[in-house]
Amino acid sequence: MRSAAEIQAKFRNDVDELIYKSLESAKGRARIILADYFADFLEDAFGATDDADTLRSEERVAYQDSITDEEEREAVRRHPW
């Protein structure tokens, strides 16, 4: 029989995997919204404030990077020289 700590650790690992898969399939602004939702869940369910802050921060940076990449592609398309 597994202890409560083992069950909670397994559940947390499953949640982390779900978050990863969900964010991988999301694009743009939807990804930010999902990240905020999952970060709130991590805080409420596990008290994982640091993990939640990291998730929010990393997703915002990734979103800003994608916008920058898109702007660069558009600039090259307009002025390829």
Q: What is the pLDDT of residues 7-54, one digit of tens each?
A: 999 999 999 999 999 999 988 889 999 999 999 999 999 999 999 999
- CA dist 37 and 61 (Å) reads 17
Are residues 42 and 6 in contact, defined by beta-carbon separation less than 8 angstroms? no
Which runs of consecutive H residues, i.e. helices, occur in the chain?
4-25, 28-46, 49-78
Judge contact between 74 and 68, C-beta under 8 A. no
pTM of the model: 0.73
Distance from C-alpha of 47 to C-alpha of 40, rounded to nearest angstrom: 10
At 1, the pLDDT band (50, 70, 90 cuts) reads: confident
